[in-house]
Structure 1
Amino acid sequence: MYNSEVPPMSELPSASRLLRSTVIALLVAVALLVTVVMPAEYGIDPTGIGRVLGLKSMGEIKMAAQASASTVPPTSPAGASAAPASSVAAATQDRRTDQTSVKLMPGEGVEVKMQMEKGATVKYRWVASGGAVTFDAHGEGSEVKFSVSYKKGQEALKDEGILEAAFKGQHGWYWKNRGKEPVTVGLTTVGQYTSIRRVE
């Protein structure tokens, strides 16, 4: 037999206090759903706060990646080798997604290139952590004598958009750290390319 005492009624919360707490918790949950979860997970931003916080573009990239991944067959043919578990790329017939990270020491420049066909498009977003960078989005191929620049910038912390290959070849970004501290650039790409690599 237990001798626990039942608390007096005066110490128990009233029905109105319980109702008020429940309503507040519900309102907070709805606010988080609309301002954080929907933009970050589904790219839906009814309030505009997700775009300001950079969450909407994350959701759009995630939804594009899920759409492309949904076309991958659920099983591999007999005898086919499975992709390595450490791979961060999810490739389909003509679309894939990658997460690429490069570290730039002070004064260092780094290039990341994708192999693309003429007219192929890639949706991208990159963010520099630790400082700003100078960048040049450009392409190189056998059809042109010199590299063709798509977009340039200085003292940039991030950039996003759609890169369309003007010709068959390697297309991507060059970043340079002109600061005094190391900078890490995180790049997300979703689209039509067969490979992506750091160019030494």
Structure 2
Amino acid sequence: VDPTGLGRAMGLTQMGEIKITLAQEALADEAAAKNAAPAPAAASAIIPATVPAPVQQVAVAQPAKPAAPAAKSDQVSLTLKPGEGREIKLEMLKGSVVAYEWSASGPVNHDTHGETYNAAQGDFHSYSKGRQIKGDKGELTALFDGTHGWFWRNRTTGNVTIVLNTTGDYLNVKK
């Protein structure tokens, strides 16, 4: 049940559906192996009694495995025209950590910040700011569930290209 739709938006609903499908496939494979045994009538009588236990074990054990090694890596680039500002955000859960490094072909102003899901206009937390710099690197730890990332503005008279590299625990990249 996902009354707010947050589970689907964060990809949790899809992960659950995939895990259920995988569990059902594993049970079908197990049932097929038992049906190939010499006593098929006895095996089919046993299968309904044993099916619920593996489903519960798989459903309980599976979610813990993907949560630990959820590290992703991405490289994203964008080009800003003179006066233009744009941002790249990572969808992250509270406590998630991302190592990042970005570089720009010319000096830019930047604001590293985050917003909770469904935040009001102008409601955000700023992690760091800089003026007329060509890069930054470090770790970003999400203080809350939401989007966390970088806003850049080009105050030069020429185009500036920015390349962002991220590695860590995040759900997706939004450009």
TM category, shorter:
0.5 to 0.7
Deviations 1:104-124 (A, max 9, x none): 000000110000000000000
Q: 2:107 aligns with which of 132, 142, 153?
A: 132
Aligned alpha-carbon RMSD (Å): 1.5
- 1:101 equivalent to 2:77? Answer yes
Contact 1:143–1:167 at 8 Å: present in 2 too? Answer: no
Greater RCO structure (CA 8 Å; 6+ sep): 2
Contact 1:132–1:156 at 8 Å: present in 2 too? Answer: yes
- 1:150 equivalent to 2:122? Answer no
Structure holding more strand per residue: 2
Deviations 1:109-160 (A, max 9, x none): 011000000000000000001x100000000014865100000000010100
What is the TM-score of this pair, normalised by structure 2? 0.58
Runs of 4 or more above 4 Å deviation: none
Which amino acid is the alignment partner of residue 176 of structure 1? Answer: R
Which amino acid is the alignment partner of residue 140 of structure 1? Answer: E
- 1:115 equivalent to 2:115? Answer no
Which amino acid is the alignment partner of residue 128 of structure 1? Answer: A
Per the alignment, residue 169 of structure 1 pairs with 146
Distance 1:189 1:182 in 2: 23
Distance 2:117 2:74 in 1: 25
Distance 2:117 2:77 in 1: 28
Identity %: 43
Contact 2:91–2:147 at 8 Å: present in 1 too? Answer: yes
**Number of positions where the alignment pairs a residue of Structure 1 with one of Structure 2:** 106
1:36-55 superposed matches below 5 A: none
Contact 2:84–2:154 at 8 Å: present in 1 too? Answer: yes
Which amino acid is the alignment partner of residue 195 of structure 1? Answer: N
Per the alignment, residue 116 of structure 2 pairs with 141
Unmatched 5+ stretches in structure 2: 1-67
User: Which deviates further from its counterpart, 175-184 or 135-144?
Assistant: 135-144
Structure holding more helix per residue: 2
| CA deviation after TM superposition for structure 1 residue 197, in Å | 1.7
Per the alignment, residue 171 of structure 2 pairs with 194
